[in-house]
Amino acid sequence: MKDLKYLIEFENLLDDADNKLIKQAQADGNYAIGYTCYHMPEVLLNVGNCFSTRLRAPRTGSIDISTYYMSNYTCEFARSLLERAIEGGYEFLDGLAGVDACSAMNRCYEHFEILQVNSKPHFFVTHTDVPYKVEDYNVHQVASQMRLRVLDVMKEKLGTDTSDEAILAAVKEHNEMCRILTEIGDLRKLENPPITGYEFHVLMLVSYVCPTKYILPMLRETLEEIKMREPDPKPWYRARVAVVGSEIDDLDFSRLLEGSGAMIVADRYCYGSKPGREEIKIDPNSDEDILHQIVRHYLTTSECPRYMADYKIKQRRETADRLAREYGADGIIYEQMKYCDFWAFERPLASHILTEEYGWPTLSIDRSYNVHNSGQLRTRFQAFVEALEIKRIQKKGG
């Protein structure tokens, strides 16, 4: 297929946390608020004079210094962020909006403050709690914290307009981006899609790390380009897979997997589109105000294994099964970052149940934050693709 017009530019935007669109937005008088987790509603960080950027640590090498502060048995993602912060990589931020979802990330946020990794006088780090289940009182609790610990702090420190009108404008812009990315992502349901899983991963990441207002025009144009794009006559892949699990912001993971012959047709992982790019429905006639409706959206759509209620556990398995069927996957890759406590509990049993009870061929792996060119992982991917291909051939022959 012909290369996408903006693909190289998008890849360049992902080379550094402080990319050129962030610089442009700040030059225009806006403030960058960093966050790391789906439980922090990004739409609330895009109100008024602020914009969100979901933190990554691209090109991470040694994490020895952050390991000294956090120990070598904590999540590599949290340690990589802290390492980059200590190096001065997040001096561009104007604030950090954190959620107390896991102990490793809590320690990362804590060290952002203790080690004073940002010298801006108005820089702030704020923390909010995340419940273990979703009930009406939990929605009210989280909404109250989002008002007190996020919106009010932004207003006090940065002079941000946090009115309902400003929030509604942010939701409208957010929803347009979600519609574009959902339409692009749904093209992967086709037998011979006009986009690869790697390319979609690139689009997803730039939508998370770049100011929405500045990336939207390029995403709009990319959607129209993909609609007109002519795929190669014969599908390039040997198997179709859904990827499920913890945070993946490493493009090398997608390169390695698709280089092994598998096309990623569904991305149910942190920093992916399911959840992440669903429109937020605001009902003007609801008894709940706009803030409570936004919070309820994020809590109910979240697939985080932090939620340990039975219905949430069932929701995660059924989502994996539904997406794999809906997008025509041949199998599921259930992945987890090393030392991620919640996914370490979730992955072994969930991958077993998806195989034994739902009938999916499932590859269960744990991995480093940055996979680079892992020979071991490549071998496992190749073996899984070959097994899926043989199974499909045998099914057609039978």
Is pLDDT above 90 for 279?
yes
Is pLDDT above 60 for 307?
yes
Mean pLDDT lowest among 77-86, 141-150, 368-377 = 368-377
Average pLDDT over residues 149-165: 98
Looking at the whole model, is its pTM more than 0.75?
Answer: yes
Average pLDDT over residues 219-241: 96
Is pLDDT above 90 for 373?
no
CB within 8 Å of 268: residues ≥ 6 apart: 242, 243, 244, 245, 274, 275, 303, 319, 320, 323
CB within 8 Å of 232: residues ≥ 6 apart: 1, 192
| DSSP 8-state symbol, 32 | E
Q: Domains in the chain, start-ordered, CATH in brackets? A: 12-165 (3.40.50.11890), 232-397 (3.40.50.11900)
For position 374, what pLDDT does the model report? 81
Percent of all residues in the chain with a pLDDT value above 70, rounded to a whole number: 99
pLDDT band of residue 398 (cuts 50, 70, 90) is: low
For position 395, what pLDDT does the model report? 81
CB within 8 Å of 121: residues ≥ 6 apart: none
Mean pLDDT lowest among 46-50, 192-196, 210-214, 336-340 = 336-340
For position 192, what pLDDT does the model report? 96
CB within 8 Å of 367: residues ≥ 6 apart: 253, 335, 336, 337, 338, 374, 377
What's the mean per-residue pLDDT of the chain? Answer: 95
What is the dihedral sign for C-alpha 315, 316, 322, 327? positive
